[in-house]
Amino acid sequence: MNLDFNKEEFKRQVLENVKTLKRKTIETATKQQIYQAVAFALRDLITDRWIATHKTYEEKDAKIVYYLSMEFLMGRALGNNLINLMAKKEVEEALAELGINYNDIEEEEPDPGLGNGGLGRLAACFLDSLATLEYPAYGCGIRYRHGIFEQKIVDGYQVEQPDNWLENGNPWEIRRSEYACEVKFGGNVRVEKKENGEDRFIQENCHTIIAVPYDIPILGYNNYTVNTLRLWDARAIIKFDFNKFDQGEYQKAVEQQYLAETIVEVLYPNDNHIQGKELRLKQQYFFVSASVQTAVKKFKSKHNDLKDLPKKIAIQMNDTHPSMAVAELMRILIDEEDLSWDEAWNITTQVCAYTNHTIMSEALEKWPVELFSRLLPRIYQIIEEINRRFCLELLIRYKDDHERIRRMAIISDGQVKMAWLAIVGSHSVNGVAALHTEILKNQELKDFYELYPHKFNNKTNGITQRRWLAKANPKLAALITDTIGDGWFTDLTELNKLVPYKENEAFRKKFMEIKYENKIKLAEYIKKHNNIEIDPNSIYDIQIKRLHEYKRQLLNVLHILYLYNQLKAHPDMDFYPRTFIFGAKAAPGYRRAKLIIKLINTVADIINKDEHINGKIKVVFVENYNVSIAEKLFPAADISEQISTASKEASGTGNMKFMLNGAVTIGTLDGANIEIKEEVGDENIFIFGLTADQVIEYYKNRNYNPWDIYNTNQDLRLVLTQLINGFLSPENPELFREIYDSLLNGGDEYFVLKDFDSYAQTHRRIVEAYKNREEWTKMQIMNVAKSGKFSSDRTIKEYAEEIWNLEPIHVSVD
């Protein structure tokens, strides 16, 4: 399908770009300059398809989904675009003929880290699937000047450095100043009477900021669809009064510019946690307003009757961060389009849909009324009215159940509850894995489920196989394609056809060899970046995800310390060599998470240096975990650590990436782990620990006492004691006291000690299983073969059919 790829023309274009953009020859250009020349050459190739796509959407008057997300964790574009264009081989050849090594060039692209973790990566996988399935879609977000910080490890501690991903420009984006729009903050609301006696609301004395879109092409796989990721930049309106043009005016104008641009300066680096900062609220309204305005404007350019809006646009809110879309659409329909409240509300609730990503209270967005009403007076007024009408409904239905009405009010205790706004203003509320949705319905959102049972539905998360298998693990991808054909690229359930091959010795051998080669490659990376030698014949046991107490990296590291103690006490014991690998960023303000990073690195140092254990345990902390590094880690994993406290991880998607790359999971019955177990079968996964029901019961009854475990498990007691007796940090024995206290005196909120024994036992079972190399390989093959459900193609099809009512639109180029 790479019909329009002409190798000679491409080479000519790269040389031309090096000359015209960089004033260099291919011999004198830097690798970065060559990368840019290549990226621009590809963007040129894509542009005709991009134009054709939007022309087709216009002609067919297609319904469009706007996927609103504060985060898009895209990862690098070059390699992914080449896969979706099916032009990787040709481009590699073309570059080789110019004397350029493709792999060197690929590493030159900065990794656009405009997200924290799973939520932002989900949005990126969804865009890939939307384009591949030919659904008309825009991703809408913020063009942060600085994405997630770059993590350095210095003396075992995380040190954050600003990410400067735009330093050399971004060849994939196009600035589209002609689509700029105004976003209003502050000021006051004036009420006027219209001719018909109704009120007209006018925003006055506002501070107006210009939103300027930058568009990035999103290619479908093996088709001509090119959708758009639209990221908004902020600019001040600068009105020069040339009569008063003096030093002061000029200074003021430049200051304004600077203040406006701070809105998009930086991504908030918190995962599953809110900080409640004014600037964050500004970011939210800024991109929501610009996106919703654009959607309505686009609709109006073709249609007259706004009642048809739900036939032509759907808005999906990725968590509550964009939930002001509900109020912003109401504002546009009422204030600018003159619709009545009831008409506007009817349209808004048909257009909007909300995805819930967490049940943890510290992640639920609540904004102080004082801040909200000062920053967004008209939006606040609309939310007040939504709340007033909603509470009236509740009063009729629940009569004197005042407690329930108080719980459900969108505004209460001086706060605006964004999740409640999103639920009331949407026709669909979905969780992201079966268990998560059940917990929403039966616990966290029970009141709302009872009121609106029809709104609730589940959409189990997924990942794109184009990035997470084809791009990340080319050798395994090639083996699979050689064995069952390439249908899996667009239908991941095709992997089922691998099941019988687990009994085929030749296939198993090739499968094992590929895993081994991937492990060698990772060993080289770790040697280069960590200066640690790891043994590719050891078990690679990997936990990579944001550092969070609920994800329980602490359980993992305490278990490693326990294993080390065992090995020290019994040097001749039968011990299969193990390599434990971590990758994790902690939010810069999350002190305990950062201390856990220091703990992992401290334990790593002690164990890696200890010559008496003959290298049987190695511990590695990979710096700066991001999408590009993830692509190196998943293919090399033997064991996938998915050990969150049951009920806490809404879905997880890292678990799916591991499975797709043939790692076997050790995990709790949490999030999508449960569905992975259902797919792969109990015999191909290692489950341990409390269930979600048990965890929830303990919280209710408050009858878990971690000291009971301390008193009965002496191996674990030794590990805990080592946290505070100077064993780990002789120069400062108190260093890890906080962690010790959180476990024993703080109630062990995440059941680390409670689940420890079950975890250790399950690790023993895993190592026994691993020793049988043939049987283990069969398990790995089964994990790959049964991962079909977890394609984001399946997830997106469900969203399109069950929430958005969206039809695919085929694009052709003549």
Catalytically active residues are 357, 545-546, 551, 653, 657
Minimum separation from the CB atom of position 80 to ligand PLP (A):
13
**Closest CB to ligand PLP among residues 653, 729:** 653
Alpha carbon distance 331, 389 (integer Å): 16
**Closest CB to ligand PLP among residues 630, 811:** 630
CA dist list (Å): 663 to 517, 520, 616:
14, 16, 21
Minimum separation from the CB atom of position 642 to ligand PLP (A):
7
Q: Which stretch binds ligand PLP (CB under 6 A): 11-19, 494-502, 647-655, 673-681?
A: 647-655
Binding mask 507-546 for ligand PLP (x = CB under 6 A): --------------------------------------xx
CB–CB of 633/622 below 8 Å?
yes
Q: Which stretch binds ligand PLP (CB under 6 A): 370-378, 471-479, 651-659, 798-806?
A: 651-659
Q: Which residues have a Cβ under 8 Å from the Cβ of 358 and sit 6 or more positions away?
A: 272, 319, 364, 650
Applying CB under 6 A, does 654 fall inside the site for ligand PLP?
yes
CB–CB of 617/606 below 8 Å?
no
Residue 551 structure tokens: 């994800």
Task: Name which of residues 147 to 206 contact ligand PLP (CB under 6 A).
Answer: none
Which is it for strands 313-318 and 352-355: parallel, antiparallel or unpaired?
A: parallel
Q: Which stretch binds ligand PLP (CB under 6 A): 130-138, 170-178, 284-292, 646-654?
A: 646-654
Residue 491 structure tokens: 């239908």
Task: Name which of residues 715 to 744 contact ligand PLP (CB under 6 A).
Answer: none
Q: Which residues have a Cβ under 8 Å from the Cβ of 4 and sit 6 or more positions away?
A: 45, 48, 813
Alpha carbon distance 109, 31 (integer Å): 10
User: Quick one: which of 71, 377, 83, 354 has its CA closest to 220?
Assistant: 83
Q: Which stretch binds ligand PLP (CB under 6 A): 117-125, 284-292, 517-525, 715-723?
A: 117-125
Binding mask 545-574 for ligand PLP (x = CB under 6 A): xx----------------------------
CB–CB of 311/63 below 8 Å?
yes
According to CB under 6 A, which one of 118, 139, 141, 462 is a site residue for ligand PLP?
118
Q: Which residues have a Cβ under 8 Å from the Cβ of 341 and sit 6 or more positions away?
A: 334, 385
Total of residues contacting ligand PLP (CB under 6 A):
12
Sign for the CA dihedral angle at 555, 749, 321, 404 comes to positive
Minimum separation from the CB atom of position 656 to ligand PLP (A):
8
| Side chain identity at residue 214, one-letter code | Y
Tally of CB atoms within 10 A around 746: 13
Q: Which residues have a Cβ under 8 Å from the Cβ of 741 and sit 6 or more positions away?
A: none
Residue 224 structure tokens: 């001509």
Residue 601 structure tokens: 């690195």
Binding mask 38-57 for ligand PLP (x = CB under 6 A): --------------------
According to CB under 6 A, which one of 626, 791, 792, 795 is a site residue for ligand PLP?
626
Which is it for strands 64-68 and 137-142: parallel, antiparallel or unpaired?
A: parallel
**Closest CB to ligand PLP among residues 141, 652:** 652
Alpha carbon distance 249, 241 (integer Å): 8
Minimum separation from the CB atom of position 631 to ligand PLP (A):
8
CA dist list (Å): 101 to 97, 470, 646:
9, 20, 46
**Closest CB to ligand PLP among residues 544, 620:** 544
According to CB under 6 A, which one of 171, 322, 652, 788 is a site residue for ligand PLP?
652
- How many residues can be counted in the chain? 814
**Closest CB to ligand PLP among residues 133, 627:** 627
**Closest CB to ligand PLP among residues 120, 425:** 120
**Closest CB to ligand PLP among residues 417, 436:** 436
According to CB under 6 A, which one of 11, 76, 88, 121 is a site residue for ligand PLP?
121
Q: Which stretch binds ligand PLP (CB under 6 A): 290-298, 380-388, 648-656, 693-701?
A: 648-656
According to CB under 6 A, which one of 630, 637, 643, 695 is a site residue for ligand PLP?
630
Contact set with ligand PLP (CB under 6 A): 117-118, 121, 545-546, 626-627, 630, 652-654, 657
